[in-house]
Structure 1
Amino acid sequence: MQSDKPEASEPKGAEGPSDTEEKAPSAVATLDAPASKGISAVAVLWTFGKCLGALLPVYLAGYYRVSTSLLVFGMMVYTGWKHAREAKEARLKCAIQLQDNEQEYTSMKVSRIKRDLPAWVNFPDVEKVEWLNKVLQQVWPFVGQYLEKLLVETIAPSIRASSSHLQTLSFTKVDMGDKAMKVVGIKAHTENDKGQVLLDLYISYVGNVEINVEVKRYFCKAGVKGIQLHGMMRVILEPLIGDVPIVGAVTMFFIRRPKLDINWTGLTNLLDVPGLNVMSDSMIMDAIASFLVLPNRLVVPLVPGLHVAQLRSPLPRGVVRIHLVEAQNLAAKDNYVKGVMAGLSDPYAILRVGPQTFTSPHVDNTDSPKWGEMYEVIVHEVPGQELEVEVYDKDPDQDDFLGRAKLDLGIVKKSIFVDDWFTLKDTTSGRVHFRLEWLTLLPSSERLEQILKRNESVTSKTADPPSSAILVVYLDKAEALPMKKGNKEPNPMVQLSVEDVTRESKTCYTTVNPDWEEAFTFFIHNPLKQDIDIQVKDADRVQTLGSLTIPLSRLLSNANLSLDQWFQLDNSGSASRIYINTVLRLLWLDEERIGADVSSGLAAGLSKQLPQQSSPHPSFATEGVLRIHLLAGQNLVPKDNLMGGMVKGKSDPYVKINVGGETFTSHVIKGNLNPTWNEMYEVVLTQLPGQDLLVEMFDKDMDMKDDFMGRLKISLKDIIDSQYTDQWYTLSDVKSGRLHLVLEWVPTSSESDRLDQVLQFPSRWFTGEEEWKRA
């Protein structure tokens, strides 16, 4: 009986008869055999029809003398569309299969990679919530009913009213499918305000949604069949109250834009054409971002009487002042004499915090630029929001990528002051120097003079001086605005200006009593000398419906630095007024909370005494240098195919080495299964347990994802114990291939008289290099 069962290690797709085929009666095979030998006339006619259909466009193109270039262009567009459609359908199908068989897939994958995971890898702060997914699955049909009612009864009439061309629009089918949204993990934050509950939900929605739209007037049908949405949504339950339902409101938003993939049908199939698909998905993401991506929030009040505008636009958590100081050892991207001579780069940096983006000037012909730029960003949520940095080489045609780095701003909030170098990722070399300051928001004016004096000492190449405060304006509503000419109701909108910075509100159509409920934030350099100017205008920006000017010094004299009231509009009707809540907050660098080890780096020159005694970490002064010599490879797996896969080619191998958080990437050797690199890498490591040297090999492809060619993992403890290792390592997870590495552990020494010895004999490998080459 045991011989009939497959091996436990045999994959499902292995060749050989299955249990069903072994148990099937032989009579079935006998009955089926004659049918397979016969030739169906219908099949022959169908094949002939397909050949005729394929040749007919070619014949028509020649008959009507259609331009060959136009025909080729059409074929290219169709091929791109077909490829995009098939790829999108494959992604959706794989995602649905994974969701249906998640337990089986996960257990299979974990059993394969369990040996590759170190024992200390775990995620204790993110929890699985299968009970919540079961609840969502149970209520999903009713969510579908609600969305169908919303589309048919609310959204469709508003679309029909927006244009005369869409008066015959209707939703012919709304089916949200049976695949509910899943929460793959949840994290609860307990370090924030005690009056709220803050949750991070990692959402994965792979839905077999089917929504069809028809415009009968133009015989137009379009729709969606399948959606993927993946991202991290933050849910805030606040305010907490002492009565049922305990939670006053639920606020939801994405800190970063989620990933979206839509499978179009009908006329909207055209949106899958390469180029248009990116545009269509980005337009939909822009619509989602206007409601659900920071700084925008969706607020669902659960009790009456809440100030929803302040929940929708709360005061920021703080402000981060970013000093982009310099960079070092950036990759050289400029080449001369058609690539024969390597030059330097013309680097510049792009900084992003949520929707706020800053671009530094570029510095010509250097790998170590000094920028000396300063930027100020508003932080709405910590932890969660990150500072993202990308460095590029300025070119006349297309700028070259030089690396990226990322930092959680929650670290800056805890440290108050960070002055450090950040290693660039996804590149061969380079690091960026940042000085970051966390500025808290003060609700009093006592320290204004101290802040203004300190800002005078902050130097920067930027024209604007540092800000001393931020101003948040809650634009609520207006009443009794004047009518337009001809006694027509206006379409009011508001322009808010502080010096040369102007923000605009949304437009409320055909009303003299608009409700905006929006918030705007401004950086203020000196509130003693600045005003905020408010202009209420018609949507055409020509007719002014009223104006208002508020000196910011008026807020300084008020309690809590705020004004929350009705204001009479100037140059308007006698009863025209506007309700605004203005809040001023001073930006304070809390020097008392900054540690003594970083205080000396402040521009203000703080003086703190170092502690008399300190106990270093047990790993202190146990650093050493791991020197990795990547020499050669042998008998690698061929990955490049020729003549449509009929002939096996070679490979273009390169190696990625990961150790201690550092990643090194070798050069690509073209068309070789026995490459020779002779490259050396060095990394400073601390002798901590559980560290490994991970080596992965790939085949470089230009048009698709690089093919995997094997991996190996070496324990750092084994390298340190042996001090010096020179051997061939067999690659795992592939049929063949091995890699020649020389690994040296060089411990640090506190004896200065050994410097000459180190300079004379920097590496034991060099002494044996000639011997290795001869071998």
Structure 2
Amino acid sequence: MAQLQDLPAWVQFPDTERVEWMNKVIHQLWPYVGEYTKTFMNDFIIPQVKAQMPGMFKNFKFTKMDMGDIPCRVGGIKVYTTNVGRDRIIVDMDVAYAGDADFTVSCCGFTGGMNNIQFSGKLRAILKPLLPYPPMVGGVSATFLEMPKMDFNLTGMGEMVELPGLIDAIRSVINSQIAALCVLPNEVVVPLAPDVDVTKLYFPEPDGVVRLKVIEAKNLENRDISFIKKGKSDPYAEIQVGSQFFKTRTIDDDLNPIWNEYFEAVVDQADGQKLRIELFDEDQGKDEELGRLSEWEAEWGQADKPIHSALLMVYIDSVADLPYPKSKLEPSPFVEVSLGKETQRTPVKVKTVNPLFQSKFMFFVRHLEGQELKFEAVDDGTRRSLGSLNIPLTTLLKEPKLEQNQQMHMLTLGVHQSPIVITTRIRALIQGKPKKNDQLGHDVLGEYGNAFHIERANGKNGTANGDAVAVEPAKTVNLDAAEDDVEIKLNVDNYQILRSDSNSSLNSHGRSNSRLGRLFRSKHEMKKRETRADENRGEIEIRIDFDELVNQLKIAVIRCRDLMTFDKKDQCNPYVSVSFSYLLNHKVVINVKDDTNYGTFVAKPVLGCLEIRLDSLLNRQLSQRWIPLSVERK
């Protein structure tokens, strides 16, 4: 296509195939695609565009939609055959459009056109699950791995084009709608077979989480030199992963800014997603680009601060029997999902009491204790509540796999209750293991983020496009760690780490730990005694250190004294177990137990207990000291 400057992918990459037959199929289908586009725009896109437009442009609308005769094209297609589960087929397509679509728009009393629409991006289609019966595929999901490029012109409106901020507002709203609709982690899903678990189609688990620390930039270009004033650039950095955008603070008049800011982003498909980092000079008008990260090492730069400990995933399937906000006024509902101060919302469903949302949300979680996930259905027209629901996050810890799948709850408004179907999951963020062939050298890692990697906005330092491929999800690098200690990713298998399971100390009592082992040991008789909350249980001497470099907590248990006994002979065989509640306020629980054999089916008594919340310690450290033991909390 003449409008596309880049060569097609099938020319550049030998594993990408040219598919002219597919373009012929699209050409034949294009009139029908155009008809569906009109319906889709009216039902889904236009209400969201109106809701997001600035107040002065709220009456913006499309009065005519014509997709034209020139269809979009697929420049190349790649089917993945390795490192792919046997229950799915993954296909990447380079999709581009530069046709003759023509839209008529009106705003603020002006009428004009929108044409010269250009669109390009990499689309990933996943066919899953594969079935042993027709149609052989349970469904198809499609998503752009990163924000596609889009451009258009507004014509024929005279002064309307000069309205301050109109084009920028339209462009911003369109980009946000594309991101919310079909840029990872958002997908367009088409079920193909009945009796397929919809959560597998609409709610796949991500590959992991990337933790990024933006440290500093050096020798940036000065864009604030002019005849009127002399100053320095006011730089800030923008980070993008899929549809997720992050921005550092702006540092005024500094060509060597130091940010030291941390960010976390969900990595849905690590083998295809890209990380973009761009630097801008903040100005009163349009911000100027200072450069972008044009090269990236094989490993992620280290983000050594554990910002959050878990990821909460929420999927809202549907709501039924919502109340009317006013007499004879059918609602246009949406659902707000809140965790702490963060709130996300579903799209608006126009005039229905039984909306089908099929929307997913993700929240980073620091602590579970005391937090509630809040749902509230709201009418978009009157802004009245249609019902609410609170779910304590600690209830998920009681579930077998830390998830509630397609669970029905009730949104309550007075005496009226509306069923809502929700899937919730919680996954811990833990340190994983790298591939064996990963080579981590100080000389390689030391180059991360220096001026050599920043491509100037004028393109002097190379011709790279600024993409940084995420080879593996959430990989971090520790300059002083062993090779097996370099990756942090989402834990979706070993979910038991979220619970407070006890782990014995290194010098353990493993030889007699089992019930079978007690059969071969002499039995002792236990005292009969009443437990008082204020009784003296002795003391324990401990030390706690936190190594920020490797993100490791070290607990030294040194000795105990004045322990109480349960044996009638006033003897005990003490040992210490230490457990760590990964989500509940990062609490360390130290139990001193008696390993004396009181019978095969008698639980080992707890001589004393100590609970320490890490957020109560300065820098998560505790100098060596004696601490009184207390009665175990039930």
* TM-score past 0.5 threshold: yes
Quote the offset at 1:282 in angstroms.
5.0
Q: Which residue is equivalent to 1:370?
A: 258
Which segment drifts farther, 506-515 or 204-213?
204-213
Taking structure 1 as reference, are residues 575 and 175 closer, same or farther at Cα in structure 2, changes over 3 Å only? closer
Quote the offset at 1:535 in angstroms.
2.4
Give the residue type in structure 1 aligned to 2:339: V
Give the residue type in structure 1 aligned to 2:277: V
Please give the alpha-carbon distance, in whole angstroms, between the structure 1 residues aligned to 2:220 and 2:229: 18
Tell me which of 82, 95, 117 is aligned to 1:203.
Answer: 95
Q: Any conservation in 1 of the 2:183–2:243 contact (CA below 8 Å)?
A: no
Q: Percent identity, please.
A: 32
Q: Which residue is equivalent to 2:309?
A: 468
Q: Which residue is equivalent to 2:273?
A: 385
Q: Which residue is equivalent to 1:551?
A: 392
Quote the offset at 1:365 in angstroms.
5.4
Q: 1:344-743 residue pairs with structure 2 within 5 A?
A: 346-363=234-251, 366-393=254-281, 401-406=289-294, 418=299, 434-435=301-302, 459=305, 466-486=307-327, 488-539=329-380, 543-564=384-405, 565-573=407-415, 575-591=417-433, 598=440
Superposed CA deviations along residues 573-630 of structure 1, whole A, max 9, x for unmatched, are: 35533221111111112146588964999xxxxxxxxxxxxxxxxxxxxxxxxxxxxx
Tell me which of 198, 213, 221 is aligned to 1:323.
Answer: 213
Quote the offset at 1:475 in angstroms.
1.2
Give the residue type in structure 1 aligned to 2:431: L
Q: Any conservation in 2 of the 1:309–1:518 contact (CA below 8 Å)?
A: no
Superposed CA deviations along residues 384-441 of structure 1, whole A, max 9, x for unmatched, are: 3222112234567765543211578xx87xxxxx35xxxxxxxxxxxxxx425xxxxx
Which segment drifts farther, 354-363 or 481-490?
481-490
Which segment drifts farther, 519-528 or 143-152?
143-152
Residue 247 (1) aligns with residue 137 (2): yes
Q: Any conservation in 1 of the 2:90–2:126 contact (CA below 8 Å)?
A: yes
Residue 181 (1) aligns with residue 72 (2): yes
Quote the offset at 1:373 in angstroms.
1.5
**SS of alignment partner, residue 348 of structure 2:** coil
Q: Which residue is equivalent to 1:675?
A: none
Which has the bigger relative contact order, CA under 8 A and spacing at least 6? Answer: 2
Quote the offset at 1:359 in angstroms.
2.1
Q: Any conservation in 1 of the 2:212–2:262 contact (CA below 8 Å)?
A: yes
Please give the alpha-carbon distance, in whole angstroms, between the structure 2 residues aligned to 1:400 and 1:488: 49
Give the residue type in structure 1 aligned to 2:380: A
Give the residue type in structure 2 aligned to 1:507: V
Superposed CA deviations along residues 58-101 of structure 1, whole A, max 9, x for unmatched, are: xxxxxxxxxxxxxxxxxxxxxxxxxxxxxxxxxx9x549x99xx
**SS of alignment partner, residue 302 of structure 2:** strand
Please give the alpha-carbon distance, in whole angstroms, between the structure 1 residues aligned to 2:433 and 2:235: 33
Taking structure 1 as reference, are residues 226 and 306 closer, same or farther at Cα in structure 2, changes over 3 Å only? farther
Residue 129 (1) aligns with residue 19 (2): yes
TM-score by length of 2: 0.57
Taking structure 1 as reference, are residues 267 and 373 closer, same or farther at Cα in structure 2, changes over 3 Å only? closer
Taking structure 1 as reference, are residues 466 and 176 closer, same or farther at Cα in structure 2, changes over 3 Å only? same
- Unaligned stretches of 5+ residues in structure 1: 1-91, 107-120, 413-417, 420-433, 437-457, 460-464, 602-653, 663-775
Root mean square deviation of aligned Cα: 4.9
Taking structure 1 as reference, are residues 569 and 401 closer, same or farther at Cα in structure 2, changes over 3 Å only? closer
Q: Any conservation in 1 of the 2:325–2:382 contact (CA below 8 Å)?
A: no
Taking structure 1 as reference, are residues 192 and 329 closer, same or farther at Cα in structure 2, changes over 3 Å only? farther
Please give the alpha-carbon distance, in whole angstroms, between the structure 2 residues aligned to 1:403 and 1:244: 52
Q: Any conservation in 2 of the 1:237–1:250 contact (CA below 8 Å)?
A: yes
**SS of alignment partner, residue 143 of structure 1:** helix
Quote the offset at 1:660 in angstroms.
12
**SS of alignment partner, residue 176 of structure 1:** coil
Taking structure 1 as reference, are residues 386 and 556 closer, same or farther at Cα in structure 2, changes over 3 Å only? same
Please give the alpha-carbon distance, in whole angstroms, between the structure 1 residues aligned to 2:459 and 2:183: 38
Q: Any conservation in 2 of the 1:249–1:300 contact (CA below 8 Å)?
A: yes
Quote the offset at 1:324 in angstroms.
1.6
TM-score by length of 1: 0.48
Superposed CA deviations along residues 551-593 of structure 1, whole A, max 9, x for unmatched, are: 2111112111111311234454355332211111111121465
- Unaligned stretches of 5+ residues in structure 2: 51-58, 444-457, 467-634
**SS of alignment partner, residue 546 of structure 1:** strand
Q: Which residue is equivalent to 1:238?
A: 128
Kindly name which structure, 1 or 2, has the bigger radius of gyration based on alpha carbons.
Answer: 1
Please give the alpha-carbon distance, in whole angstroms, between the structure 1 residues aligned to 2:263 and 2:14: 36
Matched residue count: 438
Quote the offset at 1:241 in angstroms.
1.3
Q: Any conservation in 2 of the 1:324–1:435 contact (CA below 8 Å)?
A: no
**SS of alignment partner, residue 243 of structure 1:** coil
Q: Any conservation in 1 of the 2:294–2:464 contact (CA below 8 Å)?
A: no
Q: 1:305-344 residue pairs with structure 2 within 5 A?
A: 305-308=195-198, 310-332=200-222
